[in-house]
Amino acid sequence: MNVEVKPTPAGSTLLAETPEIARVGVIGAGQMGNGITHVCALAGLSVTMLDVKANALERAVATIDRNMERQVNRKLISEDDRLDALSRIRTSMDYADLGEADFVIEAATEKEEVKRAIYQQLTPNLKPSCMLASNTSSISITRLGAATDRPEKFIGMHFMNPVPVMKLVEIIRGIATDEPTFQAVRALGEKLGKSTAVAEDFPAFIVNRILVPMINEAVYALYEGVGSVSGIDTSMRLGANHPMGPLELADFIGLDTCLSIMQVLYEGLSDSKYRPCPLLVKYVEAGWLGRKAKRGFYDYTVTPPRPTR
């Protein structure tokens, strides 16, 4: 256990212990949840991945296996690394199976009411020392932490997608988050091979505060007829040297997630520059959510994907 010596107001010293994390729980078996499970298992941690759907867990394990196989083929990890990591992963549909976890990260959909409902079911099953994090990309960590029985042990740990590839993790302290929790989670990020950026608890933090309004502006450019889907994406790829155009990126992220982040920004900062584009709203209402729905700003039922506008 790491120990940090901190001064007290009287000038004496107080030992503040940084908790060790060996057993991790991941709630959600979607794209983010299986990615977080993947990197935790490769880092030598025991991981229990929980979801309400058995078929989602089966798909997640198959995805992790497939992605690790790619890493073996690229000589990023060995076959023994892959087998050892897979042996450290358990799946469950029962919150009681997270009772021995040192740290649980929630990677559910970007809806506050869903996350709050999860915490209500989860926290009675956790040991008192267990730290809890959300992978939220925009929602207030202070507010989410206040919905739990352990706001001092609650923190934001926002991974980038795809988790096994992207090197950054944003760490966000709520107003109640204590120092040992912050230090433990920052150390966890480093153990996972990630670079960490500490963000203040403002709507959308750092990455999405900058990125998603750019995507929203690209949707406005499409909505107002400034350019076509292919024109906008080609312009940003070749003119700004972006690896992916903003509309293609929106499809990759999920248009529902982009809309949720813009709504959090608009409501949290009360600034009209964050107003979600009506066309983005319309696509989400139509169920055109991007790659995961096979249709967004591009139609993914054909190869290569075809712009829908």
Strand partners, 106: 27, 134
Up-side HSE of residue 113: CA atoms within 13 Å toward CB? Answer: 1
φ, ψ of residue 256 to 5 degrees: the values are -65, -40
Active site residue 208: yes
**Do the beta carbons of residue 258 and residue 215 sit within 8 Å?**
yes
**Do the beta carbons of residue 133 and residue 156 sit within 8 Å?**
yes
Active site residue 38: no
**Do the beta carbons of residue 230 and residue 279 sit within 8 Å?**
no
Q: What is the DSSP string of 273-309?
A: GGPPPHHHHHHHHTT--BGGGTBSSEETTSSS-EE--
Q: Which tokens in the block code for residue 124?
A: 């009675």
Active-site residue among 106, 158, 248, 260? 158
Active-site residue among 34, 135, 208, 216? 208
Cβ contacts of 230 within 8 Å, gap of 6 or more: 307
Active-site residue among 34, 134, 135, 137? 137
Read off the DSSP letter of residue 52: S
Active site residue 34: no
Active-site residue among 38, 135, 140, 170? 170
Active site residue 170: yes
What residues act catalytically? 137, 158, 170, 208
